[in-house]
Amino acid sequence: MQSKPLRIGTRGSALALAQAHETRSRLMAAHGLAEQDFDIVVIKTSGDQIQDRPLSEAGGKGLFTKEIEEALLDGRIDIAVHSSKDMPTHLPGGLALTAFLPREDVRDAFISPKAKRLEDLPQGAVVGSSSLRRQAMIKRLRPDIQVVMYRGNVQTRLKKLEEGQVDATLLAYAGLRRLGLADVVTSLLETDTFLPAVGQGAICIESRAADQPVLDMLAAIHHRETELRLTCERAFLAELDGSCRTPIGGLALIDGERLSFRGLILKPDGSELHELTREGSVDDAEAIGREAGRSLKALGGPGFFAV
């Protein structure tokens, strides 16, 4: 048994806590530990406190990780559990993504009392989404639809939908499944027409890069295939300097020793889209992602992401 509890840092939303509990359960099973061998430490982040405007206007993805990473660096927690799609591509010195859990379903879920599919919504319908990627892709598929900012945790967004504030919303299917809310889904958006966000559906664990006892613990629950897929996707995002300010989609898949990748960039209004596919060995996951990012950036040309 450990001499002291392993402290797991997390945001306080129901989904974040579900992810922290999953991590704890996997570590318990892997090492024969009990719940009392862990402390779950809830940390309120800047992103949780900003509800009145899009995160793209407030500072981007790091708003969901800054305070948690500060707690890692000063030793208040031992590991941090994150949604991979919330993670900036550049981490503070001394920290690293040191484990990934097996990836969930990556698709976006369409939820609406008004229509079975996004394509079936009535003319001029109102869809709520805080994701620039989802907003841009909705506008590209249905230019007539009004897309409005839609902040809050999963339960808050579902309540707003139930109250009729919007006609539909889109959420990550993985998060709904982890919350036991898969039954609220009206339909799923397939990745060939609605590419997910980089890292969607994957839980990552961040720790101090030199904390060997923690690294040894995490090795037992690490999922190599998810790491390879995310290595490719995050390298792609890094080349594009991607954040929640830019509509970007990317998905890597693995079949045996082969990795295939598809990425796209959009104008925020959906008026222009560029996409590409790449394939290669899983050993070249990072190189494939970086090359795809550079090529797509060149396709868009200078100023593509200019607001």
Catalytic amino acids? Answer: 86
Separation of alpha carbons 198 and 236, rounded Å: 9
Separation of alpha carbons 96 and 225, rounded Å: 18
Distances (CA, A) of 250 to 37, 61, 86, 273: 37, 16, 14, 13
- Amino acid present at 125: A
What stretch of H or E contains 96?
Answer: strand 95-100
What stretch of H or E contains 40?
Answer: strand 38-42
Separation of alpha carbons 117 and 102, rounded Å: 28
Apex 190 CA angle, 136 and 162, nearest 5: 70
Q: Give the position of tokens 């859990």.
A: 101
On whether the CB atoms of residues 98 and 205 are closer than 8 A, the answer is yes
Separation of alpha carbons 147 and 153, rounded Å: 18
**CA neighbor of 171 nearest in space, from 132, 129, 140, 135:** 129
The pairing of beta strand 146-148 with beta strand 126-128: parallel
Provide the sign of the torsion angle of the four alpha carbons 279, 281, 283, 284, taken in this order.
Answer: negative
Instruction: Assign 3-class secondary structure to 184-224.
Output: HCCEEECCCCCCCCCCCCCEEEEEECCCHHHHHHHHCCCCH
On whether the CB atoms of residues 126 and 146 are closer than 8 A, the answer is yes
Separation of alpha carbons 80 and 281, rounded Å: 30
